[in-house]
Structure 1
Amino acid sequence: MSVIGDLLLAPDVRPFAIAAAIMVTLGGIELVSMLVGFSISELFGKEVAAEGDNHGTLEGLFLWVNAGHLPLLILLILVLGYFSIIGFVTQAFAHGIGLPVPAWVAALVALVWSLPLTRVTSRKIARIIPRDESYAVEETDFVGHIGEVTVGPLDHGLPGRVRLKDVFGNWHTVPARAGPDSEALPVGASVQLVDRDAKSFVAIAAPADLREQRRSSNRA
């Protein structure tokens, strides 16, 4: 184990080991926060977007890697992941052929390749992950809709998450708690959003006829 540790902390791969450690830490924190019904990525802003035509260099770079379609934290995890993987592979190849590469050169190569790879990956992820908001609807429009509990159970404590489809067919995930007179609603349960307060939606078990209507809508 000490040999592996020494290898990962060797000067020529240290930047990539640090990047990998940060990526794992951020991913772990995000996973734990989602399990308790709160996404830490919301603290960093759901999206990074620059308006207008006169973008600065950094803003233009964010737009190029598709930052406007993913939360900043997820985008950062992708960049760190590709940076560390490419860096390790570059140094492994260099050592394999007997031509050690300075850490700063390998880091530059890894950065150059990680950005276009992040752009491609982020575009694919943005098509499949649910979005909390959409330019086409307001969150208040979700009251009365039927959804499915994805992070829960929903009770009267910390909010869980409910996945639902808007009138345009776009999927969303929203924070929700069980109504004051409702029992805990487990993961996978069909629920109806009946109200919204400052922190989350209020949900109850969906009536049977509305559950069937939702199934028909999803199949369509």
Structure 2
Amino acid sequence: MAELIFSGETYLFTLAIFVMLALALLEVVGMIFGLSLSGLVDDALPDLEVDADLDIDADIDADVSVDAAGLGPIEGFLAWLAVGKVPFIVLLIILLTSFGITGILVQYAAASIAGATLPFWMALIPTGIVSFWFTAKTSHAIGRVMPKEETDARSRDALIGEVAVLTLGNATKALQAEARVTDSFGTRHYVQVIPDQPDTTLMQGDEVLLVGLKDSLFTAIPNPHANLSPRQDTLTN
């Protein structure tokens, strides 16, 4: 089996698994030190604005008409993959895992049935189809249960003046932190926060008042009034 995994026709599938493990390890180490690799990558990526309301979760196997949804082929493909619904690192880990495992299984089946592995390009075709399908299916399922963060500009502006709790990392001028905030409708959001004053450090667990919005980052100050404290259920959940 080890011979198969590291053979010339299979090693790229094996490499995908090792890259996935490295990304997962970096995410865990980052969380230990109060950093979120997912958050940093998502903030570095441009807004894709894939807002089409495609009901792929209901029937992932159905033929989706991209033109009918009002999307071009690239935007339609990104929507099908659930880009923007789950953190990009999570989506990449799912894709690498399914790509690596499927590729190895395809080559194992070929070696068992025909006595020889397939050329890489030939194994790549079924592997790519299965791994992208699995990634889309899994990402949409995860997106259903993940806390929803509104990216609409008006929705984000409405969060200014709300009190949030820093949930991951310490916020400084050079480094944002993740914060949890509940809007006036009771919907919970997870946003990235930096201090409003450059010489201020906001610590994980602190209550902060969102006072501004710069691109995708909220600026915040320490919560100045106890009566502005978030709802008790927000703090305890």
TMscore range, shorter length: 0.7 to 0.9
- Aligned counterpart, 2:101: 85
1:121 aligns with one of 131, 134, 138: 138
Paired residues of 1:36 and 1:158 also in contact (CA < 8 A): no
Q: Which has the higher helix share?
A: 1
- Aligned counterpart, 1:10: 7
- Aligned counterpart, 1:149: 166
Amino acid paired to 1:20: I
Deviation track 1:61-92 (CA, whole Å, cap 9, x = no partner) reads 33333335335554343222211111123333
Query: Cα 1:42–1:136, aligned 2, differ >3 Å: closer, same or farther?
Result: closer
Please state if 1:133 is matched with 2:169. no
Distance of 1:26 and 1:49 partners within structure 2: 25
2:83 aligns with one of 59, 67, 75: 67
TM-score by length of 1: 0.73
- Aligned counterpart, 1:42: 43
Mean CA deviation greater in 171-180 or 68-77: 68-77
1:159-178 to 2 correspondences below 5 Å: 159-178=176-195
Paired residues of 1:194 and 1:204 also in contact (CA < 8 A): no
Paired residues of 2:165 and 2:235 also in contact (CA < 8 A): no
1:111 aligns with one of 128, 131, 156: 128
Identity, % of aligned positions: 24
Which consecutive unaligned segments of at least 5 residues does structure 1 have?
none
Amino acid paired to 1:109: P
Number of residue pairs the alignment of both structures matches: 216
**1:142 partner SS:** coil
**1:133 partner SS:** coil
**What do you get for the CA RMSD once the two structures are aligned?**
3.8
Shift in Å, 1:204: 0.8
Query: Cα 1:206–1:91, aligned 2, differ >3 Å: closer, same or farther?
Result: farther
